[in-house]
């Protein structure tokens, strides 16, 4: 049998850390049980491992006692790295030990999967350099600042590259678990688990859950003023040439500084602002899609639909039907 190791961090934990640990144990235990019902040998021996005899969560309200110290594990096949704190800045001593352990076992052939902000720990090993990675959309700006070598794919719910897996935010780790069950067991078992735990197995993106907040912790005063202008005038027709002239900067230099500071071109940034405004209107107002489109400065229905779908994964009408209660009635 293969070995599955669920890591239990001793520090830098958040409320979702425990959810990831319990969820992983529960789903893989059920997958093993299903195999047993089919008279097939279960795939994984499942173990919780850490650096302390017990780890406290939610201000000491809950405690997890790992079954093993990580030093006692000679070989493992799949490592689960649960979510950690969202305001991560640098890895702490206790988690540095976990980081080194992950590197060691990955070199011996272990697959590694991080959940939500667990990507911070995984990225701290260097294993994500020049690889794709997803994380909670709210942590994306901070993550990109800390780990610029990682190819961040915030819109994706799951990434899979050379035996390293990551997933988006919150409880979307359940979708990663189904993905791993299908990979290590089979499709039938993944479908069974999706029905038992009522998880949407077809979900591919977290785009429609994202709330756009422009990156403003970059320190470039000119770019911040340009961001403010775009956010306050997004419904008007804006020429990026004239905007760069407004700040007495050449267009190429303006674009370069804007991309470096925000991760978006000025045009993409404006599009994201418009789409975010449209989302709020579609969620709560009785306006038609066309009325919303005109209100944010678009006149071409096809162009609006394409841009909206690019950032949300849904058409404006699909988004309205999904999130607006008046549309559901």
User: pTM of the prediction?
Assistant: 0.75
Among 3.90.850.10, 1.10.10.60, 3.50.50.60, 1.20.1530.20, what is the CATH number of 221-328?
A: 1.10.10.60
* Fold classification of 2-207 (topology level): Rossmann fold (3.40.50)
pLDDT at 327: 56
Percent of the chain beyond pLDDT 70?
Answer: 98
pLDDT-derived band of residue 216, with 50, 70 and 90 as boundaries? confident
Q: Which residue has the tokens 């107002």?
A: 285
Sign of the CA dihedral 277, 281, 287, 289?
A: positive
* Mean confidence (pLDDT) of the chain: 91
- Kindly state the average pLDDT of the residues 276-302: 93
Residue 70 burial (CB < 10 Å; 0-12/13-18/19+)?
buried
| Range(s) within the chain of domains with CATH label 3.40.50.880 | 2-207
The 3-state secondary structure of 210-254 reads CCCCCCCCCCCHHHHHHHHHHHHCCCCCCCHHHHHHHCCCCHHHH
> Which range is least confidently modeled, 242-246, 307-311, 325-329?
325-329
- Kindly state the average pLDDT of the residues 209-222: 80
Looking at the DSSP bridge assignments, the partners of residue 2 are: 44
pLDDT-derived band of residue 20, with 50, 70 and 90 as boundaries? very high
pLDDT over 90 (residue 329): no
In whole angstroms, what is the distance from residue 176 CA to residue 235 CA?
Answer: 38
Mention every residue, 6+ apart, whose C-beta is less than 8 A from residue 135: 116, 117, 119, 120, 143, 152, 154, 166, 168, 169
In whole angstroms, what is the distance from residue 100 CA to residue 276 CA?
Answer: 40
Enter the DSSP assignment of 72.
G
Backbone angles phi, psi at 113, to 5 degrees: -130, 125
- Kindly state the average pLDDT of the residues 221-248: 92
Enter the DSSP assignment of 132.
E
| Range(s) within the chain of domains with CATH label 1.10.10.60 | 221-328
pLDDT at 56: 80
Structure tokens at 199: 């998880």
pLDDT at 19: 93
Range picked from 58-62, 96-100, 108-112, 210-214 for highest mean pLDDT? 108-112
pLDDT over 80 (residue 3): yes
pLDDT tens track for 158-208: 999 999 999 998 899 999 999 999 999 999 999 999 999 999 888 777 776
- Kindly state the average pLDDT of the residues 269-292: 93
Mention every residue, 6+ apart, whose C-beta is less than 8 A from residue 235: 274, 277, 295, 296, 297
Report yes or no: 98 and 9 within 8 Å, Cβ to Cβ.
yes
């Amino acid at each position: 049998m293969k070995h599955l190791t669920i890591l239990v961090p001793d520090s830098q934990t958040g409320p979702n850390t425990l959810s990831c640990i319990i969820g992983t144990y529960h789903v893989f235990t059920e997958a093993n049980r299903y195999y047993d019902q089919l008279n097939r040998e279960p795939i994984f021996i499942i173990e919780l491992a850490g650096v302390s005899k017990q780890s406290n969560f939610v201000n000491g309200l809950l405690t997890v006692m790992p079954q093993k110290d990580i030093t006692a594990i000679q070989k493992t096949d799949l490592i689960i790295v649960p979510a950690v704190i969202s305001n991560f800045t640098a890895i702490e001593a206790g988690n540095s030990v976990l980081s080194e352990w992950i590197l060691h076992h990955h070199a011996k052939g272990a697959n590694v999967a991080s959940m939500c902000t667990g990507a911070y720990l995984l990225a701290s090993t260097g294993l994500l350099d020049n690889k794709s990675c997803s994380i909670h959309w709210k942590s994306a700006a901070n993550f990109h600042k800390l780990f610029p070598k990682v190819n961040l794919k915030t819109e994706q719910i799951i990434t899979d590259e050379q035996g390293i897996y990551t997933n988006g935010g919150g409880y979307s780790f359940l979708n990663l678990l189904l993905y791993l069950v299908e990979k290590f067991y089979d499709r039938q078992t993944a479908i069974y688990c999706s029905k038992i735990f009522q998880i949407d197995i077809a979900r591919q993106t977290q785009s429609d859950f994202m709330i756009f907040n422009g990156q403003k912790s970059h320190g470039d005063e000119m770019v911040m003023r340009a961001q403010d202008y775009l956010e306050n005038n997004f419904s008007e027709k804006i020429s990026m040439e004239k905007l760069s002239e407004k700040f007495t900067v050449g267009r190429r230099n303006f674009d370069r500084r804007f991309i470096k500071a925000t991760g978006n071109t000025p045009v993409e940034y404006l599009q994201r602002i418009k789409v975010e405004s449209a989302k709020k209107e579609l969620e709560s107002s009785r306006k038609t899609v066309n009325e919303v489109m005109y209100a944010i400065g678009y006149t071409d229905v096809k162009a609006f639909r394409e841009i909206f779908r690019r950032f949300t994964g849904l058409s404006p009408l699909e988004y309205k039907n999904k999130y607006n209660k008046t549309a559901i009635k």
